[in-house]
């Protein structure tokens, strides 16, 4: 094949592939305007670039989530081996503080930097680490454990999502801090939604106390999805755990109870323990 023929074939293949891609008739005018400063040069954002930006954003977000959960695992494992933070080896204390600083939950103050760099004696380093974590959690260092630390970056456990609570239970089980017989939070499943579970609990409590459902309007409601710790051994069925809690400003005479928990089956809406049964237990709910 001649060189000329090769050229024809290659040019034809390229022209055909990019035949829709024609020059912009306004290009010369745009360049003159850019040069005169009338318009700014605009970079086009390709679809590939947009996808890359989205992918990077997701990756960075995912990385942060994974990392704080990895920190959680680190704390749980240390706690399993050595108890509360105050009893940890220095190396483990420094690693945790360094990770929290990397995640920007702890400011890299001179004290933190000095600790991480290893410029303190062992005694000084222990004291600095204890001070830093006490300040971070706002608690006395003697009682600082997994929850004290993790609730700072993740917020109050009461506000954790179902996914976060399920992660916590799984982690505790995997690390060996909690075992069967303890409450296991799991991801919600079944036909009954959270709102339906609350409605069932409200109706059943009102019926059990023989009051109108409106009476429960003042009570604070919280919900979990869990395998109850009080369930019979071997029963792995998860339930909606709906709690009605009396507000602090309600008098003893007025209130029906301080706290009333109801467990609702997520598929059929039945109660694990009926309100009547619970009320028949002496001092139930108080």
Partner 1 sequence: MNVVKGPDNAREQELKRLVDAYQTSLLRMCQIHLQDSALAEDAVQETFLKAYRALSSFKNEGSEKAWLMKIAINTCRDIRRSSWYKYVNRWVSPDDLPEEASRGDVSNEELSSAILKLPTKQREVIMLFYYQNMKLADIAGILGIPLSTVSGRLGRTRKKLKALLERSDQDD
117 contacts partner 1 (rule: CB under 8 A) = no
Distance between CA atoms of residues 140 and 142, nearest Å = 6
Residues contacting 247, CB < 8 A, separation 6+: 218, 219, 220
Which of 37, 38, 40, 48 is close enough to bind partner 1 by CB under 8 A?
48
Six-digit token pair at 159? 């506000």
63 contacts partner 1 (rule: CB under 8 A) = no
Considering beta carbons, is residue 51 or 65 the nearer one to partner 1?
Answer: 51
**DSSP label at 190?**
S
Site string for partner 1, 28-47 (x = CB under 8 A): x-xxx-xx-----x-xxxxx
- Which of 2-10, 78-86, 117-125, 237-245 is the region at the interface with partner 1 (rule: CB under 8 A)? 2-10
Which of 13, 54, 60, 62 is close enough to bind partner 1 by CB under 8 A?
13
Q: Is 220 within 8 Å of 245 (Cβ atoms)?
A: yes
Q: Is 193 within 8 Å of 267 (Cβ atoms)?
A: no
**For the sheet containing 184-185, what is the strand order?**
184-185, 220-227, 239-245, 259-264
250 contacts partner 1 (rule: CB under 8 A) = no
Tell me how far, at minimum, the Cβ of 61 lies from partner 1, in Å.
16
16 contacts partner 1 (rule: CB under 8 A) = yes
Tell me how far, at minimum, the Cβ of 285 lies from partner 1, in Å.
58
């Amino acid at each position: 094949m001649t060189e000329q023929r090769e050229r024809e074939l290659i040019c034809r293949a390229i022209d055909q592939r990019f035949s829709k891609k024609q020059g912009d008739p306004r290009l010369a005018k745009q360049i003159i305007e850019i040069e005169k400063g009338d318009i700014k040069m605009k970079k086009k954002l390709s679809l590939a670039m947009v996808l890359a930006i989205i992918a990077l954003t997701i990756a960075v977000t995912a990385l942060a989530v994974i990392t704080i959960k990895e920190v959680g695992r680190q704390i749980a494992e240390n706690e399993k081996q050595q108890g509360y933070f105050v009893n940890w080896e220095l190396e483990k204390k420094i690693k945790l503080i360094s990770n929290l600083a990397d995640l920007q939950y702890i400011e890299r103050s001179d004290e933190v930097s000095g600790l991480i760099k290893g410029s303190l004696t062992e005694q000084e380093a222990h004291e600095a680490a204890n001070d830093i974590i006490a300040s971070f959690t706002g608690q006395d260092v003697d009682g600082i454990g997994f929850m004290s630390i993790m609730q700072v970056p993740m917020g109050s456990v009461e506000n954790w999502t179902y996914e976060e609570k399920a992660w916590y239970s799984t982690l505790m089980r995997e690390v060996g801090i909690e075992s069967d017989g303890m409450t296991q939070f799991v991801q919600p499943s079944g036909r009954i939604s959270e709102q339906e579970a609350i409605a069932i609990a409200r109706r059943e409590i009102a019926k059990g106390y023989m009051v109108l459902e409106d009476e429960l309007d003042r009570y604070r409601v919280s919900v979990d999805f869990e395998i109850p710790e009080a369930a019979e051994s071997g029963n792995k069925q998860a339930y909606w755990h709906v709690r009605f809690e009396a507000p602090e400003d309600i008098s003893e005479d007025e209130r029906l109870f301080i706290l009333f928990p109801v467990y609702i089956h997520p598929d059929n809406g039945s109660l694990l323990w009926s309100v009547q049964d619970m009320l028949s237990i002496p001092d139930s709910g108080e």
